[in-house]
Chain A
Amino acid sequence: DGGITQSPKYLFRKEGQNVTLSCEQNLNHDAMYWYRQDPGQGLRLIYYSQIVNDFQKGDIAEGYSVSREKKESFPLTVTSAQKNPTAFYLCASSIETGTTYEQYFGPGTRLTVT
């Protein structure tokens, strides 16, 4: 089955620790994205990558880092510099359809930092 996997589904960390969220896709999509969702807010873009070895900051990149060494993988590290890391994190990938880009989402990781 083609799709996007994120692991783990739930993650708990203590404040001050870095944590890396996994995102893998086997859809052969060039572009990948990380979003964050907080209660009462929409999805906010953290980082995105249009091709391997290249990525750009989104709207709320501070305190996060990413890498894109392989087309299939786009891990997100939540560093200790992120002031409010507890949130739901969604990974997505997209393909250009000619008229727009269609995004497909993973199941998400809920991160709780105490």
Chain B
Amino acid sequence: ILNVEQSPQSLHVQEGDSTNFTCSFPSSNFYALHWYRWETAKSPEALFVMTLNGDEKKKGRISATLNTKEGYSYLYIKGSQPEDSATYLCASPSRNQGGKLIFGQGTELSVKP
């Protein structure tokens, strides 16, 4: 069974701080790694889809790296803003099961002004 873990479970930072959190997944049979941003009362929004070892993706102040050999991905937020407050989810698809995603439990980020 594919097991995806995220840490920390929650994070409280001040506006302007940079932060990062981790997603770990089984390195064998790696297929892809998805990051989502989920604000309260909204739908989860896709941030990145990562497929290659060493991949690095960036969207504004948010970036992510991928290490498929050791089974982890980091999400970085540079200069956190209050609007970055959300739950960040990572997920890995289960191969040959029609896109079924296995989600981590999420990291809840709170940025105080």
Contact = CB atoms under 8 A, between A and B. Distances in A.
**A, B: real partners:** yes
Interface of A: 4, 31, 33, 35, 40-45, 48, 50, 58, 90, 94, 96-97, 99-108
Contacts, number: 65
Interface in B17-64: 31-32, 34, 41-44, 46, 49, 51
A96 B99 contact: yes
A74 B44 CA distance: 19
B101 interface: yes
Given A42-B4, A43-B91, A103-B91, 16 more contacts: A4-B43, A33-B101, A40-B9, A42-B105, A44-B103, A45-B100, A45-B101, A48-B100, A90-B43, A90-B44, A100-B31, A100-B93, A101-B98, A104-B46, A105-B43, A106-B43
Given A41-B105, A105-B43, A105-B44, A31 B31 contact: no
A80 B31 CA distance: 38
Interface of B: 4, 6, 9, 31-32, 34, 41-44, 46, 49, 51, 89, 91, 93, 98-106
Q: What secondary structure prevails in chain A residues at the interface with B?
A: strand
**6 tightest A-B CB contacts, nearest first:** A101-B99, A100-B32, A50-B98, A42-B105, A105-B43, A94-B99
A100 B43 CA distance: 20
A107 B42 CA distance: 5
B105 A40 contact: yes
A44 B42 CA distance: 18
Q: What secondary structure prevails in chain B residues at the interface with A?
A: loop
A44 B1 CA distance: 14
Contacts of A35: 103
Nearest to B44: A105
A45 B99 CA distance: 12
Given A40-B9, A103-B34, A31 B98 contact: yes
Contacts of B46: 102-104
5 contacts: A4-B43, A42-B89, A45-B101, A99-B32, A100-B93
